[in-house]
Structure 1
Amino acid sequence: MRLVLPVLTSMILMAAPGGCSKPPETGAEPAPETVTAPVVIGGVDLARPVRVLGTEPFWAIDIADQDLVLTRPDGAEVKAPVASPIVTGTTAVYTGTTDSGQTVVLTLIATECSDGMSDRLYPLTARVELGEETLNGCGTTPEALAQAPAA
């Protein structure tokens, strides 16, 4: 009886769920953890809101939450959903289509830019193509724009 009890106990432990048995292999490996690095050009993190503006004529674009919104003092607001920019070196390009079907392309280049009306310098130069119209301006983050004194 002394030999039977340890053998019987071992058999029960091996047969019990969660016992010493190895879990069945499913063949699927755990998915690798995805880490998205920030996309930064000219010191501006493009994963965060960006503000682009121009003069003569006055206009502004805000990019946030995958939306591009163009505003002008004398015109209706223009919205277009945009995906993450395509970045090549120091250039980032956003592309979208407005509700009216116009293509909008915003190109940001990491070069110092002046708005032409103040002594303020911006880290990004911008070019906007909206249908047949082209607008040129400068860009930065809304936070940097609010903190920098206008001259």
Structure 2
Amino acid sequence: MTIRHFPLLAALLLPLAACQSPDENGRSTQAFAEIADSETIRFTGTEPFWGGSAAGDTLIYSTPENPDGTTIAVTRFAGNSGLGLSGALDGKPFDMVVTAGTCSDGMSDREYPFTVTLEIGEDSRFGCAWTDSRPFSGPENP
């Protein structure tokens, strides 16, 4: 696996160690386990609007211009701070990091359990995510 031009992915992977004890600064070196390999991750972002889902090694990325989405193959890997999904979209690197943390989309009264940082080529986007075992709270249809 190659870490492209996405320093956040490198930050997730480099601290991983074979041991599961804290490092010299007291930080965990255990792999992120808050999202099971079998779970589907759903994500959404605004400005510009985007969203989709990821299950296994397949991710669907959608926008208002492409509501059915584009399906891409991704490599899924757990760092010690989050889950990385890496592939290519329209010939550009697609790198997404999902981390635990309360997130608001700023447009609804929903509260999400995960934050998302996405880079497509040189373009950075930020959003929120949830899974079936860690759903959002708030209205189903805001």
TM-score by length of 1: 0.62
Q: Confirm or deny that 1:80 pairs with 2:72.
A: yes
Corresponding position of 1:92:
83
Mapped contact 2:118–2:125 kept (Cα < 8 A): yes
User: How many Å separate the matches in 2 of 1:45 and 1:137?
Assistant: 20
Higher helix fraction (1 or 2):
1
Question: Root-mean-square deviation (CA), in Å?
Answer: 2.5
Q: 1:139 aligns with which of 102, 108, 129?
A: 129
Q: Distance in 1 between matches of 2:117 and 2:37?
A: 16
Relative contact order (alpha carbons < 8 A, sep ≥ 6): 1 or 2 greater? 2
Cα contact 2:109–2:139 (8 A) shared by 1: no
Count, aligned residues? 109
1:116 and 2:122 matched:
no
Instruction: Give the structure with the higher percent strand.
Output: 2
Question: Counterpart of 2:45?
Answer: 54
Alignment partner of 1:102 out of 92, 106, 118:
92
Query: What is the alpha-carbon distance in structure 2 between the residues aligned to residue 142 and residue 57 of structure 1?
Result: 25
Structure 1 residues 142 and 58: CA distance shift in structure 2, 3 A: farther
The one-letter code sitting in structure 2 at the alignment partner of 1:139 is A
The yes-or-no answer on 1:69 pairing with 2:64 is no
* Residue in structure 2 matched with residue 28 of structure 1 by the alignment: none
State the alpha-carbon separation in 2 of the partners of residues 61 and 75 from structure 1: 11
Task: For 1:78 and 1:68, locate their aligned partners in 2 and report how far apart those are by CA, in whole Å.
Answer: 8
Gaps of 5+ in 2: 1-31
Task: Look up the match of 2:33.
Answer: 40
Structure 1 alignment gaps of length 5 or more: 1-38
Identical counterparts, % of pairs: 30
When the two structures are superposed, what TM-score results if normalisation uses the length of structure 2?
0.65
Contact 2:37 2:56 in 1 (8 A): no
